[in-house]
Amino acid sequence: RKALGREVVPHTTRLPPPRVSSCCSVLRRPWSVRPQAQLRCYSSAAVCSSPIPEITSKFPEITSYDELYKFSVNQPDAFWGALGEQLLQWQRPFSTVTQHDLSTSTFSWFHDGTLNAAVNCVDRHAEHHPDRVALIWEKDEPGTEQRITYRELQSEVEKVAGVLQQCGVKKGDRVAIYLPVSPIAVATMLACARIGAVHSVVFAGFSASALASRIRDAGAKVVVTADSSKRGGRVIELQKVTREAVALCQDIEYVLVAQHSGAPLQLGHKELDLQQAMASITGSAPPSEQGGEDPLFLLYTSGSTGQPKGLVHTTAGYLLYTAITHRLVFDYQPGDVFGCVADIGWITGHSYVVYGPLMNGATTVLFESSPIYPDPGRYWETVQRLRITQFYGAPTALRLLLRYGDEFVKKYDRSSLRVLGSVGEPINPEAWRWYHEVVGDRRCTVVDTWWQSETGGIMLSPRPSAPDAPVKEAHPMRPMLGMTPLLCDAEGHQLHDVEASGALCIAGVWPGIARTIHGDHKRYQDTYFSPYPGFYFSGDGAMRDSEGNYHITGRMDDVINVTGHRLGTAEVEDVMMEHVDVSETAVVGCPHPVKGETVFAFVVLKEQVSSSIEDISKQLRADVKKHIASYAVPEFLLVTRGLPKTRSGKVMRRLLRQIAKGDHDDLGDISTLADPSVVSDILDKFLKMK
């Protein structure tokens, strides 16, 4: 072999290249200019600047990571085209890599090629490695895990696909999925993909009315659920919640119920036993031939208005982007056991529990339990038992666990781990260091990964993008291949100084971006492309240091992040406004040591009210739980005489955020308020409340 990274990979190879070495000492050579010893490395070299043989075999002039990055952004057609040819299995090859029109915010990738996502994620691996484990289902009780091979997964997918077809589901139809993290959930997602239906997974912690509004917005006719699930020893009545939701959705024709609890199913109106129906399926219809741009799934996420947005992700670009990011950011190698503990109800679960790992033919863990069940050692006990090689979780869980001390970590063998990933919210240095020093024994590479439901996959991450730089704690650092982050000031001008702070935008397009908001392309344009013309606007603020490393400072809109869950403050306000006694509300996020942020609600009541302030507060909290989910319930609820407003009637949220934070010393100029006296009323009540 002349130089690594130049190995010729035949075009017919569909799987990622075989593991060459577990360490960078070999792989590093052509990519690294500095020897390891000189680096002030926080992390070991477990994750290296993995070369991409699919690219370097075709473009041998690329010999460094820098060159590879430049190539990826300057020649997106060549870069993504080569990857698209080799990482995806096509029914009909594509001839056009990408087309985009910023004026209408329309983007397409590989639109004239045809393929099937389930074939790419399952069938091709089942053909070559039928007995390889695809899923390890880590159920609520430790030690009861189940392994599902690619062959078994394929058969499950075909059966669920058959049942969906019997229910009349056709290409393009939407199917709602309200299931816990489980093999049947993965099989149902892929069954939709197999027949060309579009899945919409709704997080199983959402309430009946949140589920109903998502079913209605998507226009789903079938919903798939389970009788119940168990998390942290607690039973979650999914079938009951689904019944309540379906009562609010006239168009639902079938409810497929999977038996999850072990008890016999009790079936009601429109409900069918999913497993029983699967047992009667014999044979399977050929997978649907999907266009590269056909929708793969809808995923609802919070924005700055009360109505969640149904982001539309399409087939080829999304699959390619999740596959390559999964491989490069986590240094995925065949034989690894990939442990992302996210719920499939969120984008992290879609991209790094299901699609990315399965695209790469990996073994992926489905974690159905809780980080503190039966005790705060659960994650690390699972790592030891399953020999997990990459662990991917949220800062909120780390902040919770570090409070229980190091013993719960140290008593388990974590020597299988190589990479520790963090996602979903800013990670504070204390949690980052604990992750690195205690969990990873200073041996594993910690990757803080920044991305969003909208981006489909990881956008900023210290690896593979900064191969020679030490990992800077609590920084996602640098862009993935093919993407160009930038910062803009309040006037919309791009900031060209290296050291800068502003709105985090992205120039150019990448294959994983959500293509539209279901039924509302205008909202898509207005939200992401109008604020900073020519660029995608993330909604986040960021800082860039003198070395070009990014650090995320948080949302710039009215979206908050509670225990890693994205929540629109307007969603909570809308629910509270429905209460007969409420005249006005304003909800803000307030920093919280474990949750990241917590919900702080300011409420103005009408002159005449029906009951006491205590009762109304209780009712409001119950309403939020009923209409959204438990995590959205205001931890603090302050009833006040009025809200601070400008003379033009705009609520000054900055002021409320400051008050909620307890940061009263300098409230800035409040003389422009229509009625400055409301501020002292609020402060008064706030101090009494604490």
- Which residues of this protein are in contact with ligand WT7, per CB under 6 A? 301, 346-348, 423-426, 448-453, 476, 538-540, 552, 555, 561, 566
Longest dimension (CA), the chain: 83
Distance CA 109, CA 80 (A): 9
Q: How far is the CB of 290 from ligand WT7 (least distance, A)?
A: 25
Residue nearest to ligand WT7 (CB): 453
Shortest Cβ 476–ligand WT7 spacing (Å)? 5
Q: Measured from the CB atom, is 149 or 561 closer to ligand WT7?
A: 561
Q: Shortest distance, CB of residue 301 to ligand WT7, whole angstroms? A: 5
Residue 121 to residue 322: CA distance in whole angstroms: 11
Q: 422 near 395, Cβ under 8 Å?
A: yes
Q: What is the 3-state secondary structure (H, E, C) of 421-469?
A: EEECCCCCHHHHHHHHHHHCCCCCEEEEEECCHHHCCCCECHHHHCCCC
Closer CB to ligand WT7, 355 or 408, in the complex = 355
Nearer to ligand WT7, 481 or 638 (CB): 481
> Between residues 469 and 616, which has the closer beta carbon with respect to ligand WT7?
469
Considering the complex, what minimum distance in angstroms separates the CB of residue 449 from ligand WT7? 5
Between residues 162 and 395, which has the closer beta carbon with respect to ligand WT7? 395
The enclosing H or E element of 218 equals helix 208-218
429-438, long-range: CB < 8 A, 24+ apart: 429/473, 429/474, 430/399, 430/402, 431/395, 431/398, 431/399, 431/402, 432/473, 432/474, 433/473, 434/398, 434/402, 435/398, 436/42, 436/43, 436/473, 438/402, 438/406, 438/409, 438/410
- Of residues 173 and 425, the one with the C-beta less far from ligand WT7: 425
Cis geometry, peptide bond prior to residue 374 (ω within 30 degrees of 0): yes
CA distances from 617 to 23, 573, 625, 635, 638 (A): 57, 13, 13, 11, 9
Q: Which is nearer to ligand WT7, 242 or 301 (CB)?
A: 301
The string of DSSP letters for 564-602 reads TEEEEHHHHHHHHHTSTTEEEEEEEEEEETTTEEEEEEE
Question: CB-hemisphere CA count at 13 Å for 438?
Answer: 21
Q: How far is the CB of 57 from ligand WT7 (least distance, A)?
A: 32
User: Do 341 and 393 contact (CB within 8 A), yes or no?
Assistant: yes
Q: What is the DSSP letter of 478?
A: S
Q: Which is nearer to ligand WT7, 319 or 560 (CB)?
A: 560
Compute the least distance from the CB of residue 131 to ligand WT7, in Å: 32
Task: Quickly tell me which residue has 């056909």 as its tokens.
Answer: 294
Shortest approach of ligand WT7 to residue 687 CB, angstroms? Answer: 31
Closest separation in Å from C-beta 504 to ligand WT7:
8
> Closest separation between CB of residue 339 and ligand WT7, Å?
16
Residue 394 Cβ vs ligand WT7, minimum distance, rounded to whole Å: 8
Which residue, 343 or 573, has its beta carbon nearer to ligand WT7?
A: 343
- Distance from C-alpha of 75 to C-alpha of 12, rounded to nearest angstrom: 23
Instruction: Spell out the long-range contacts of 667-676 with Cβ–Cβ below 8 A and sequence spacing 24 or more.
Output: 670/644, 672/646, 672/647, 673/644, 673/645, 673/646, 673/647, 674/645, 674/646, 674/647, 674/649, 675/642, 675/644, 675/645, 676/644
Reduced to 3 states (helix: H, G, I; strand: E, B; else coil), residue 273 is strand
User: What is the smallest separation between the CB atom of 396 and ligand WT7, expressed in angstroms?
Assistant: 11
Provide the minimum distance between the beta carbon of 597 and ligand WT7 in the complex, in angstroms, as a whole number. 10
Rounded CA gap, 447 and 326, in Å? 12
Considering the complex, state which of residue 114 and residue 301 has its C-beta at the smaller distance from ligand WT7: 301
Residue 225 or 453: which CB sits closer to ligand WT7? Answer: 453
C-beta closer to ligand WT7: residue 242 or 561:
561
